[in-house]
């Protein structure tokens, strides 16, 4: 074998070598546990009542027990409602926020930074703040709604069967909409400004530009965001559990909480595993498949000022919704206990104190050591981040160098002109036709941009933005 051939083989095998660490991680931490769980689902695994025969084979009895459990179907119903409402709520609010933040106005940079705060706050911390805000007797929400005349009596948001689930969904929406806004904003900023300029020339309204330019242009991003939200919501556990622990009367018992309660409260590990296997393979697996399928695929000055003012007002409203729990958390941290549990809560502490911070930083016992917990969190965060980046980088490089069917769908297609993307070329074409359409009324062609947008703007089967290159 000559040297040239050896080099070719070595170069061909290098990507696979980079994939080895990633594949080992997937094997050890994903495939092995899934296979183990699948095996356990066919075994007697009731730790509270161990059998002398050990973990013997029971066939489909665990699956039959699950299908005969009314609580299981209740958790499925609650989970489906939770998914539909929270996913739609986060997307709609995130989309509106992205539209606002994609508009030029004074203070846009600051607003973009503030919007991220709910997403950055740890779930447990956020839930504890909302628990205080939801409190029937001392919560700020009941206080504000009563003063506004909306409520006639206080509501026990987390203890009322009819209200607990919507209350938990509000927290989920508040926590997750900034991610949607960031993703969609990135997609909106990639849309060529030539499209909007051509639309302005033709007199398109704001709604028409959103409908015919913005929405189609971010269709692929929206699909990916939707799938990610569904996958994450299926796995959601912390928010509902910290708020209500699945109660009251199982009103907020998601499937994840049901599995946890069955396995770790009653120590019956055989029973919840059929739920995990069926849920994982049946729903999450399909969503993951579709995710990868998608991935691989002139106004007057006064009018502009008015629109900017409206945008600023709407942004302020969104920021208030996003920042209110955070501000309340900071304010509460400086209040003494008698103010925290007051029937007339106030935003500004009447008798501010830093005793809470002093106690947090100085108290050290077997049950409380904030500084040690902080050090542990930093170490775990840094090590897991570093490890993940190294493994992901090696795996990503290997995948990028290995020819995989459909791989090109994840990247922009190029025209015959070197270095020129087809999307950019078609942007130019559409802008030209938009300009032509604007003058078309004079030369008798009668084509307007709104007609062109309806006929030439589309997304192909690969999920890439496409435009016809000629007037129909």
The closest alpha carbon to 465, from 191, 209, 204, 182, belongs to 191
**452 Cβ contact partners less than 8 Å away, ≥ 6 residues apart:** 430, 433, 434, 437, 471, 472
pLDDT at 105: 85
* 432-456 b/e (C-beta count within 10 Å ≥ 16 → b): ebbbbbbebeeeeeebbbbebbeeb
Does this model's pTM top 0.75? My answer is no
pLDDT at 266: 52
pLDDT at 439: 38
Q: What is the pLDDT of residues 76-125, one digit of tens each?
A: 999 999 999 999 999 999 999 999 999 888 888 889 889 999 998 889 88
The ranges of the chain annotated as CATH 1.10.3720.10 are: 73-353
* 239-257 b/e (C-beta count within 10 Å ≥ 16 → b): bbbbbbebbbebbbbbbbb
| Rounded-to-integer distance, Cα 421 and Cα 49, Å | 65
In CATH, 73-353 is 1.20.140.10: no
Q: What is the pLDDT along the chain (472 residues), one digit of tens a residue?
A: 567 777 777 777 888 888 888 888 888 888 888 888 788 878 887 776 777 777 788 888 878 877 888 888 999 999 999 999 999 999 999 999 999 999 888 888 889 889 999 998 889 889 999 999 999 998 999 999 999 989 888 999 999 999 999 999 999 999 999 999 999 998 998 888 888 889 889 888 888 999 999 999 998 889 889 988 998 898 888 899 999 999 899 999 998 888 887 766 555 555 555 444 444 445 555 555 555 555 555 343 444 556 667 788 888 888 888 989 988 899 988 998 888 888 888 888 888 998 888 888 888 888 888 888 889 999 999 999 999 888 888 888 887 777 765 555 444 333 333 333 333 333 333 333 333 333 333 333 333 433 333 333 444 444 444 444 333 3
pLDDT at 286: 52
pLDDT at 1: 54
| Rounded-to-integer distance, Cα 76 and Cα 214, Å | 35
Note whether 242 and 126 are within 8 A (CB).
no
pLDDT at 163: 95
pLDDT at 35: 85
pLDDT at 159: 93
**What would you measure as the largest C-alpha separation in the chain, in angstroms?**
93
| Rounded-to-integer distance, Cα 107 and Cα 255, Å | 42
Taking CB atoms within 8 Å and a gap of at least 24, the contacts of 101-110 are: 101/181, 101/185, 101/315, 102/185, 102/188, 102/189, 103/307, 103/308, 103/311, 104/308, 105/308, 105/311, 105/312, 105/315, 106/308, 106/312, 107/312
Count the alpha carbons within 13 Å of 305 in the hemisphere toward its beta carbon.
Answer: 3
């Amino acid at each position: 074998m000559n040297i040239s051939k050896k080099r070719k083989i070595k170069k061909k095998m290098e990507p696979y070598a980079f994939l080895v660490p990633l594949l080992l991680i997937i094997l050890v931490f994903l495939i092995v546990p899934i296979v183990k769980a699948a095996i356990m689902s066919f075994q007697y695994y009731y730790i509270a009542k161990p059998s002398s025969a050990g973990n013997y084979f029971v066939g489909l009895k665990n699956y039959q027990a699950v299908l005969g459990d009314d609580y299981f179907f209740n958790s499925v119903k609650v989970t489906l409602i939770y998914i539909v409402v929270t996913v739609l709520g986060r997307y709609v609010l995130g989309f509106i926020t992205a539209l606002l933040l994609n508009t030029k106005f004074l203070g846009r940079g600051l607003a973009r930074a503030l919007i991220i705060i709910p997403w950055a706050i740890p779930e447990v911390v956020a839930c504890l703040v909302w628990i205080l805000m939801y409190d029937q007797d001392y919560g700020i929400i009941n206080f504000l709604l009563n003063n506004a005349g909306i409520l006639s009596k206080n509501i026990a948001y987390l203890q009322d069967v009819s209200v607990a689930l919507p209350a938990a969904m509000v927290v989920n929406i508040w926590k997750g909409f900034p991610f949607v806004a960031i993703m969609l904003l990135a997609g909106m900023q990639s849309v060529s400004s030539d499209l909007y300029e051509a639309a302005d020339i033709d007199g398109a309204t704001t709604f028409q530009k959103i409908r015919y330019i913005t929405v189609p242009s971010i269709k692929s991003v929206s699909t990916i965001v939707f799938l990610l939200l569904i996958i994450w919501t299926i796995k959601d556990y912390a928010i509902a559990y910290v708020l209500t622990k699945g109660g009251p009367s199982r009103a907020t018992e998601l499937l994840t909480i049901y599995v946890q309660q069955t396995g770790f409260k009653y120590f019956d590990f055989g029973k919840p595993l059929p739920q995990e296997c069926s849920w994982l393979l049946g729903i999450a697996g399909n969503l993951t498949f579709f995710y990868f399928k998608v991935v691989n695929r002139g106004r007057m000055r006064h009018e502009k000022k008015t629109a900017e003012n409206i945008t600023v007002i709407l942004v302020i409203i969104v920021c208030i919704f996003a920042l209110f729990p955070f501000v309340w958390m900071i304010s509460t941290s400086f209040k003494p206990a008698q103010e925290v549990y007051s029937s007339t809560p106030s935003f500004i502490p009447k008798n501010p104190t830093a005793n809470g911070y002093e106690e947090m930083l100085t108290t050290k016992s077997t049950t409380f050591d904030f500084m040690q917990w902080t050090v542990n969190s930093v170490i775990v965060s840094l090590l897991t981040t570093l490890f993940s980046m190294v493994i992901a980088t090696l795996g990503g490089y290997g995948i990028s160098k290995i020819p995989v069917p459909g791989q090109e769908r994840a990247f922009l297609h190029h025209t015959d002109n070197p270095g020129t993307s087809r999307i950019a070329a078609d942007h130019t074409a559409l802008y030209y036709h938009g300009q032509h359409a604007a003058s078309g009324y004079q030369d008798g062609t009668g084509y307007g941009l709104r007609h062109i947008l309806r006929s030439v703007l589309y997304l192909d089967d690969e999920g890439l933005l496409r435009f016809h290159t000629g007037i129909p």
